[in-house]
Structure 1
Amino acid sequence: MGIERALLFLSLALLAEVAGTVGGFGSSVFFVPIANFFFDFESVLGITALFHLASNLSKLGLFRAGIDRRLLVRLGVPSVLFAILGGLAGTLVETAWLERLLAVFLIGLSGWLLWRPAATFAPTTSNAVVAGALSGGMAGLVGTGGAVRGLALAAFDLPKEVFVATSAAIDMGIDLSRAVVYWRNGYIHADDLAWIPLLAVVALAGTWLGRRVLRRVPQASFRRIALLLVFAIGWVTLLGVALG
């Protein structure tokens, strides 16, 4: 990859990290479609997992006080388990129809919550387990499940610091597990590892910038921003599958 193309990739990755921090649910939902323009599908999965590890370490360092430990267990444990299962099944399952289903789900539920801003879901154990299983499974299968988890956390109407910190802590478990699975599947290539130090710097810088933006966002506006981003991600995902 030439220098100009590499700088473009890193710049877009920085924007993805800022947007993922402000949206509250991580950068992979933005990073994956960006990386698809520069790398093959297997490399995208491997690089995303490693980039996200650096991203979530940055978020945990900056937002650690906001972690909801009860929700972390109820949503995080199924997320990690299903991320492992999804990663193992990634070589066996045709993921295009799953991406279509995911896109329709994201568009439908986020659109309904935007239309009914007063509507919320209680963060019960059953709701958290279902959301965790869906987000972890999609993360393992198609490389990104953050939008599902973000949609769930937005529906729970959590304070923005709790939203970001808890999502990052859950993501950390998912990324550790799927990085091992992707390594086992041969998705993490030796020549891709050279990007990791650069992407680690991008992750830290993007999280810091995103945190500064987030401080200026009122709580009332934060949920709407998260839902609008999920709604947009759903349409972009659907369009990407249609054009692919």
Structure 2
Amino acid sequence: MKDINFIFLILTLVAEIIGTIGGFGSSVFFVPLGNFYFDFQSVLGLTAIFHLSSNLSKIFLFKKGLDKRLLLSIGIPSVIFVVIGGFLSKIFNSNFLEIFLGIFLIGFSLLFLIKSKLSISPNDKNAVVGGALSGFSAGLLGTGGAIRGLTMASFNLEKSVFIATSAFIDFLIDFSRTFVYYSNGYIHKHNLKYVPFLFIIGLIGTFIGKKILAHIPQSKFRRLSLSLILIVGIITMTKLLFKL
């Protein structure tokens, strides 16, 4: 227990709660926060493991809202491209990947906060493209929920449907990339001590997030998600500036 960083675990719980409220999963927060405590590749490995339990919790708590059509059109390309992105993550320098992640999160969120009426057409083609991009980003950078969230937001889904479908797709992504990250050597033996804690945090954080989400009006849902992504992007870039 003396080697366990409890501040990291508390921040992980916060990331899980906010990720549930935002609807795009905790990895968009967990990855940049984890980089304060571990190297980037270790964070990728821990993210995949943590998300397996986290998304199982969401699937259980929001199971009545699953959209099977979007599960196929977004989920299948996501799984294919997360494998590709996972293998490519071994090629690129981790500092480059962190910078790219921060820039992407800030640019993405600002664009849609400023251009609030800008949207993606809710059709099968965009669902497939969005799924492919989110899967590739998840494999390469550790998080693809923001892209998937934007794609799914275009379909104007009710909150529980949005979260349940996103969580199921995320689970398929995490299950696939866990094997890729393991073969890449990202899942380290000395970090496995965090797994039981992360599993419990996934359950508790999702439950708390669901309770809070019940009090958030549907009209504010998308803007809240984008605001949270912007905050994470700023945190990521601030950390990198101190690192340089």
Scaled by the length of structure 1, the TM-score of the pair is: 0.90
Determine if contact 1:160/1:219 at 8 Å carries over to the other structure. yes
Aligned to 1:149: 148
Q: Secondary structure of 2:198's match?
A: helix
Q: Secondary structure of 2:140's match?
A: helix
Q: 1:109 to 1:32 in 2, by over 3 A?
A: closer
Determine if contact 1:55/1:203 at 8 Å carries over to the other structure. yes
1:1-244 aligned at under 5 Å gives the runs 2=2, 6-94=5-93, 96-97=95-96, 99-244=98-243
Q: Deviations over 1:35-72 (max 9, x none)?
A: 22222222211111000000000000001111111111
Q: Distance in 2 between matches of 1:134 and 1:240?
A: 25
Q: Deviations over 1:58-99 (max 9, x none)?
A: 000001111111111111111111100011111112355555
Q: 1:124 to 1:95 in 2, by over 3 A?
A: farther
Determine if contact 1:157/1:223 at 8 Å carries over to the other structure. no
1:185 is displaced (CA, Å) by 1.2
1:101 is displaced (CA, Å) by 4.8
Q: Distance in 1 between matches of 2:58 and 2:104?
A: 27
Q: Secondary structure of 2:62's match?
A: helix
Q: 1:222 to 1:46 in 2, by over 3 A?
A: same
Q: Which one-letter code corresponds to 2:6 in the other structure?
A: L
1:242 is displaced (CA, Å) by 4.6
Q: 1:205 to 1:57 in 2, by over 3 A?
A: same
Matched residues, percent identical? 51
Q: Distance in 1 between matches of 2:75 and 2:236?
A: 24
RMSD: 2.0
Q: Secondary structure of 1:194's match?
A: helix
Q: Distance in 1 between matches of 2:167 and 2:106?
A: 23
Determine if contact 2:28/2:229 at 8 Å carries over to the other structure. no
Q: Secondary structure of 2:49's match?
A: helix
Q: Distance in 1 between matches of 2:98 and 2:72?
A: 27
More off after superposition, 165-174 vs 103-112 = 103-112
Q: Distance in 1 between matches of 2:118 and 2:54?
A: 31
Determine if contact 1:59/1:165 at 8 Å carries over to the other structure. yes
Q: 1:238 to 1:148 in 2, by over 3 A?
A: farther
More off after superposition, 14-23 vs 29-38 = 29-38
Q: Distance in 1 between matches of 2:57 and 2:122?
A: 26
Between the two proteins, the alignment pairs up a number of residues equal to 243
1:152 is displaced (CA, Å) by 2.4
1:240 is displaced (CA, Å) by 4.1
Determine if contact 1:150/1:230 at 8 Å carries over to the other structure. no
1:167 is displaced (CA, Å) by 0.9
Q: 1:106 to 1:11 in 2, by over 3 A?
A: closer
Unaligned runs of 5+ in 1: none
Determine if contact 1:59/1:164 at 8 Å carries over to the other structure. yes
1:33 is displaced (CA, Å) by 1.6
Q: Secondary structure of 2:24's match?
A: coil
1:233 is displaced (CA, Å) by 2.9
Q: 1:149 to 1:243 in 2, by over 3 A?
A: farther
